[in-house]
Amino acid sequence: MTQAAHKTAILRRAKRVVVKVGSNVLTTDGSVNTRRIGSLARELAAIGRSREVVLVTSGAVAAGQPRLGRTRKGIEWRQAAAAVGQPDLMALYGRAFARHERVVAQILVTHADLADRRRYLNARHTILRLLAAGVVPIVNENDTVAVEELTFGDNDDLSALVATLVDAQLLVILSDVSGLYTADPRQDRAATRIAVAEARSHHLDTVAGPSRRGVGTGGMRSKLAAARTAAAAGIPTVIAAGTRSGVLPRVFDPAVDIGTILLAPGDPLTRRKHWISHTLRPKGTLHVDRGAERAVVERGRSLLPAGLVRVEGRFDRGDCVRCVGPDGREFARGLINYAAEDAEKIRGVQTREIDGLLGYKGSDELVHRDDLVVVASAAIVR
């Protein structure tokens, strides 16, 4: 199937779209380019006539850094720059969209917000209500309170999680590069653009690299990981150059060959299982024997204490844990029914022995199959 045929099929069902724009697209010489924001608002407003659009944007740090100095000085400097820059960035977007009679809303989140189930659902309901009212939700990471280990890679991962959060049918990532290439086009003139590929294809790992310039923290590796996160929910991704005016009308024109389309074949995860496998950060690891691994992977069973060989990490009941087989490979992750110390006490025992060892029995299963997600190869990239 040609790229045009893939685009036609994708765009036909894409009634709700998440568009992500990174810092390197929005900035010129380290400062926010107001003309770029103006053209982006115009294009998004045009697309929004027939679709619901959520914008995931970077740029708060870039907007604030001229007032604080351009030399980065760690996470505290970044947080301060974001605090100064976020109101200015939203003001620019507000004025730009107002020219097209569109109202915008600011949504600031951290990874911790999306990892908390109640806050995750609250964010979903808020964004869906805004879309129903014809408002353009503009989502950004709350850099002011985020800590370094919880940040999203230039909002690439955030955009994929938001796409899943709102049941989008398409994720568009606007980059400073015109899609995925067979090699780095800035270093290899023979590199050619990959028009269409499956997001989970292993050969893409060799062509995706980290960010190399500008104020962005992403890069093609981060964008590929985001596309795989979206693909697990059945959402295809388009990666295209966002530095040129008119890119979005071309992305949404089936006849135009632009960017890279990353397809999402296979059975998508439910929203809850996607949240478990792609949003939550594992707090520990359960090492199990081959029989337990096969029971989970091949027969869709729960993980029982009898198959547990070793407990690694400190976690509480309800936390996300990795499940690892004898070869050290992760084969699943899920929500544990016992804290780490109790899981260690019932390691290798039959379920009928749990009450006698712990003085209570919360559940027969360490991880119930409803809370388990089998990890397909390359489906989870962290």
Minimum mean pLDDT among 101-115, 175-189, 307-321, 360-374: which range?
Answer: 175-189
Within-domain flag for 277? no
Average pLDDT over residues 140-149: 71
Over residues 129-138, the mean pLDDT reads: 98
Helix locations, the chain, DSSP H: 3-13, 23-26, 34-47, 60-68, 75-98, 111-115, 117-132, 156-165, 220-232, 247-251, 271-274, 290-297, 340-345, 354-358
Same domain, 24 and 129: yes
Computed over its alpha carbons, how large is the radius of gyration of the chain? Answer: 22
| pLDDT over 90 percentage in the chain | 69
Q: Per the structure, how many domains does the chain have?
A: 2
Is 328 inside any structural domain? yes
Q: Which pLDDT band, with edges at 50, 70 and 90, does 236 fall under?
A: very high
Separation of alpha carbons 208 and 225, rounded Å: 10
Could you tell me if 154 and 234 lie in one domain? yes
Q: Is the pLDDT of residue 69 over 80?
A: no
Domain range for 245 = 3-268
Does residue 275 form part of some domain?
no
Residue 201, both tokens: 């294809």
pLDDT higher than 60, residue 216: no
Looking at the structure, do residues 286 and 324 belong to the same domain, yes or no? yes
Residue 314 or 211, more confident: 314
Give me the CATH number covering residue 165.
Answer: 3.40.1160.10
- Of the three residues 216, 244, 268, the one that is the final residue of a domain is 268
Task: Provide the mean pLDDT of the chain.
Answer: 89
Rounded CA-CA distance 207/184 in Å is 7
254 and 292 belong to one structural domain: no
**Do residues 181 and 101 both lie within one domain?**
yes
Q: Residue 215: pLDDT band by 50, 70, 90 thresholds? A: very low
Query: Does 292 lie in the same domain as 263?
Result: no
Would you say residue 380 lies in a domain? Answer: no
What is the pLDDT, as a whole number, of residue 127?
A: 98
Please indicate, yes or no, whether residues 101 and 197 belong to a single structural domain of this protein.
yes
pLDDT(150) > 60? no
Question: How confident is the model at residue 382, as a pLDDT?
Answer: 34
In a domain, 381, yes or no: no
80/170: higher pLDDT: 170
Instruction: Tell whether 310 and 260 lie within a shared domain.
Output: no
Same structural domain, 217 and 286: no
- 253 and 351 co-located in one domain: no
The token pair that represents 35 in the structure block: 């003309």
Give the bridge partners for 311, in sequence order: 286
